[in-house]
Structure 1
């Protein structure tokens, strides 16, 4: 990407940040809704002595209650409208965004000009009233005509104020002339500077105070009329843009689906980058305010004291920034984007260590963002007291980091399997992978030792412990399988028991993970019932129960039943004798390895027992002649089922064989050894 395109992308990102600040300000006041008992109107002056319950016309309490309700409801509607308008501006295209900002800039210039004129006129009138000297002129014009340089160049006099206001209004008029979207009529363009600077001209003349007091209003009429004309004349265009956007979204959803529309708009708006810039600017704003509060201008050693305070309060300042950095939903989204950015580069760092560049592994930033945001919603991060919010934020980050360890294991595990099965002679690649595994074991252990020594037993600590032990178990299982594959790679003969050992080790690891899944479910249920309930936590528990418990249990049971069925089928076949194998003098047609032991099918074909067992996971026919591998029982139901299965296998034979190849090679071990 060229420098020009990068600059344009940055400008577009910056254009989308202000609407987020507007939404954030509305969320800071909770959309106008009362969030504490201090904001609810309390009628402390209403007592039983003041209300006669026998008079039905006395409704003082009800009147005040309904007034407060309608005021709150009106504030809520205004805040919701402001949020909706800001989000609509946020999703506009860049050319429309520029038009909106030009209009808002011109409107802002009108109000700045008005208040600047009002402030200058008030100061000039105040100075005129304080002038008690008999030699003082009644106006600036008389001072100019009398060449009264003392009054004209007095820094606290009206002359200097008029000159300053002249310069400000002239600059504002030039900017307004270039940015306003109204008709570019030459006469109006020439009158605009005069309109802006009219109060300054009148302040030089001996004018009546009332006329001078109202002059800023009249000076703002011409630019304000231009602004209103632009708004009214653009109404149809605005409606057309909104309707066109609605039509585009509707057509896109009907053709490609809602998820495709969200993904496309997410990429177009560059949402992660916009959220990061928004959060960084928000934190920078708060940091500047904190530094200004710490600076003591009244002392002679203000700079030294401020520097000392900055050093001493660095930790408290960082804590304050983190607390305010997640006080609203938009702030949490910004923090989520920042955390995703760092997690993405953490993943890139470990990919650099492992010398891998898999595209699927680069989703670590997206996964970490989703996890952090779900944790924030689940724990009610934005609604907590600042002190509790900081503690909860630290706990959520700790949980996120333990989840990150699992993701790192998913990166290093296939690398270990590939290195061991392919007999890769590159020692440094083995060392890198084993180093990452050592980190994934040592760091969780160190973390658990620290947490258990510093914190009391709690549901959060139990969850972190479960995640940490689980990742340790997964790494140990990977190392054990890596060792087995490495041993098998250096063997000169076929290791028939390898598949059994790998199955038992993985079954052990999966069982431990399943037990921890059940433990985390009950831990979450305890939190839901006795600590902090909520709809989001309940939904997440249901998702966890379905995917991590029910689906895993069903998949594990399915694998177990397939394996047991395959073993029973294999045991029904004859074992080849040493003489038969010597006379055959061939390799297994499935794995192409020498056969020191083999099973004989009904069609008189020889295969390794373990290879044939894997083949039976897919279908019941011989890999060579597609005849039935084993004897079929005489039961009618079994016959019908077998015939139906045979017919289906015939129709899908090519597809099944392709799938069977992957299962037969089991983790790619045999294929890697052959290549």
Structure 2
């Protein structure tokens, strides 16, 4: 894709967003407007007023939706007509100003008054320029363009010497003539508009029948760049609200502080469904860029350019939406909404920190396990992890200063504390790997220490989850019971207690079984290691000690134990390892007897077995290479 074509696509995307964002502001005002007040304000014929107000009210919403979904070419044409209408209103206003100025002045001959002549020339030029712009925008090329000069009639009447008292009547005639032209234009084009609507509905229905409604919604979502529209809409809305608050309440800013001030602005900018959706999408985009910058900070520009995870950050946006709907954020008063927003943003920040940890944890462990020599990468990773375990503690301390402890707050605080515990556990494992890299000899017990460290972290997580469940049960039994708290308690008990217990017990059983299988295998003697004179097929490191499988292959005990967590076969030949050493020795002793029966046939079988084993070993080396990478 050339640079010119890329710039053109960016330009079209920018135009698409800029032209559609006003429809979101129309929807925002529509949700904030109560039509019942306008109906109650009319004292005559309330039934007729209610009908007209309702029609206008929902017509505005339909217009906003049409602007949001309209194709770009049609949308540009619509804006041309809107700009032309604004120019007509400006021409009407300028003509009215001219008439008022002329009526206030004493009646004189126009060519004998230089000031009046300059004023006439200025207004006449302005009317001609606006008429030319309107003709250009709506593409009028015939004699009809001269009709747009209708507001020059008061100037022409002034030149013709018509009495000044008649100028107002001429201006009223121009206005009535313009309104008639607009009504005729709308009447002549209403069929064209209906045809466009019908054509688009038929096209959308055909697409829905072909690809399905869900796929159509996702296609429309990305085609009209709706997330970016919501992002721009909310940023403009927030900046406007921030400016209004700073102008109206500068004293409260100095008294309450920036935090409460910003929370109040954020709470005011999510008072309708449109602004709430925009806030959630803004949070998703902010989370995406924070996580992307985190990866750029850890791995550099190369990893950033190769990253294609477009769904990153949307977890935080969906979390914000679900909790806002569940807590009834839209139904609260502005002050209550501001305080609730503090809790909601705390939850989103906790989720974001957890996402940052899940992204950075493999990178940190890879640095230590691969014994990377780049000091700056290690320093950056350690600084980030220091922030990731200190900041949740600071957040927990801060929120405890403003709110009393209850079940919801305990769930939120437990999430932050668990993130800090996980980060500290990863730092401990990182330190163990770094210490192993400094040793001159392999550390055989490293895998056990890493396992015990991870187990300790999992036990702490399980204890915190059990404590939260017990506290929630106490609140439900002795405190105020509610369906929401009970549902959250059940979900928390299943996912954070039962699932953790099952996963931990399963891991323990697998490890115990792997240790039993490994202990049943014989250890290689120094003489056998010298005769073998090769590396471990899993990690490709020298064998100072090894375990021998019944099929005669040599492996590091730690590497083989990691393999046995997954499979009960030899990594080289894939034979079952449940055979005992005695069985393998017996099978080895039976072979000479068979060789004595038919030596020629046995030699042929051995040659075929060796060729098959060589082919199989080549395939198994590739598999062992992959499995060694997975085990690390």
With the shorter chain as reference, the TM-score category is 0.7 to 0.9
Distance change (3 Å), C-alpha of 1:268 and 1:587: same
Moved more, 19-28 or 73-82: 73-82
Question: What is residue 275 of structure 2 aligned with on the other side?
Answer: 331
Q: Distance in 2 between matches of 1:180 and 1:402?
A: 53
Q: Distance in 2 between matches of 1:534 and 1:228?
A: 56
Distance change (3 Å), C-alpha of 1:228 and 1:317: farther
Question: What is residue 147 of structure 2 aligned with on the other side?
Answer: 191
Pick the aligned partner of 2:572 from 615, 624, 627: 624
Distance change (3 Å), C-alpha of 1:604 and 1:5: closer
Distance change (3 Å), C-alpha of 1:227 and 1:657: farther
Distance change (3 Å), C-alpha of 1:501 and 1:533: same
The residue matched to 2:381 in structure 1 has which SS?
A: helix
**Alignment of 1:29 onto 2:33:** yes
Pick the aligned partner of 1:87 from 65, 85, 92: 65
Question: What is residue 14 of structure 1 aligned with on the other side?
Answer: 18
Question: What is residue 564 of structure 1 aligned with on the other side?
Answer: 512
Contact 2:263–2:341 at 8 Å: present in 1 too?
no
The residue matched to 1:456 in structure 2 has which SS?
A: coil
Question: What is residue 346 of structure 1 aligned with on the other side?
Answer: 290
Question: What is residue 590 of structure 2 aligned with on the other side?
Answer: none
Q: Distance in 2 between matches of 1:523 and 1:199?
A: 82
Alpha-carbon distance, 1:543 to partner: 7.1
**Alignment of 1:96 onto 2:52:** no
Q: Distance in 1 between matches of 2:618 and 2:50?
A: 69
Contact 1:524–1:541 at 8 Å: present in 2 too?
yes
Alpha-carbon distance, 1:219 to partner: 3.7
Question: What is residue 590 of structure 1 aligned with on the other side?
Answer: 538
Contact 2:263–2:342 at 8 Å: present in 1 too?
no
Alpha-carbon distance, 1:220 to partner: 1.9
Distance change (3 Å), C-alpha of 1:310 and 1:464: closer
Distance change (3 Å), C-alpha of 1:347 and 1:618: closer
Contact 1:528–1:534 at 8 Å: present in 2 too?
no
Moved more, 80-89 or 411-420: 80-89
Distance change (3 Å), C-alpha of 1:334 and 1:200: farther
Q: Distance in 2 between matches of 1:232 and 1:200?
A: 37
Q: Distance in 1 between matches of 2:59 and 2:88?
A: 24
Question: What is residue 218 of structure 1 aligned with on the other side?
Answer: 177
Contact 2:393–2:416 at 8 Å: present in 1 too?
yes
Question: What is residue 508 of structure 1 aligned with on the other side?
Answer: 456
Pick the aligned partner of 1:497 from 445, 453, 474: 445
What is the root-mean-square deviation in Å for CA atoms of aligned residues? 4.9
Q: Distance in 2 between matches of 1:562 and 1:526?
A: 36
Distance change (3 Å), C-alpha of 1:477 and 1:291: closer
Distance change (3 Å), C-alpha of 1:102 and 1:219: closer
Distance change (3 Å), C-alpha of 1:491 and 1:216: same
The residue matched to 2:569 in structure 1 has which SS?
A: coil
**Alignment of 1:227 onto 2:175:** no
Matches within 5 A, 1:81-480: 82-107=60-85, 143-145=107-109, 173-180=131-138, 184=140, 186-194=142-150, 196-198=151-153, 205=163, 216-253=175-212, 258=214, 261-287=216-242, 289=244, 315=258, 318=262, 320-356=264-300, 357=303, 359=307, 364-480=312-428
The residue matched to 2:574 in structure 1 has which SS?
A: coil
TM-score, normalised with respect to structure 1: 0.70
Question: What is residue 649 of structure 1 aligned with on the other side?
Answer: none
The residue matched to 2:570 in structure 1 has which SS?
A: coil
Contact 1:496–1:610 at 8 Å: present in 2 too?
yes
Distance change (3 Å), C-alpha of 1:447 and 1:146: closer
The residue matched to 2:405 in structure 1 has which SS?
A: coil
Q: Distance in 2 between matches of 1:265 and 1:655?
A: 48
Flag the structure with higher helix content. Answer: 2
Distance change (3 Å), C-alpha of 1:485 and 1:287: closer
Contact 1:110–1:223 at 8 Å: present in 2 too?
no
Gaps of 5+ in 1: 42-63, 138-142, 295-305, 633-651, 669-675
Q: Distance in 1 between matches of 2:404 and 2:498?
A: 32
Count, aligned residues: 579
Distance change (3 Å), C-alpha of 1:460 and 1:113: farther
Q: Distance in 1 between matches of 2:113 and 2:481?
A: 74
Q: Distance in 1 between matches of 2:539 and 2:436?
A: 14
Moved more, 474-483 or 283-292: 283-292
Q: Distance in 1 between matches of 2:88 and 2:383?
A: 65
Q: Distance in 2 between matches of 1:395 and 1:596?
A: 57
Alpha-carbon distance, 1:97 to partner: 1.3
Distance change (3 Å), C-alpha of 1:554 and 1:263: farther
Moved more, 169-178 or 389-398: 169-178
Q: Distance in 1 between matches of 2:52 and 2:626?
A: 64
Alpha-carbon distance, 1:404 to partner: 2.0
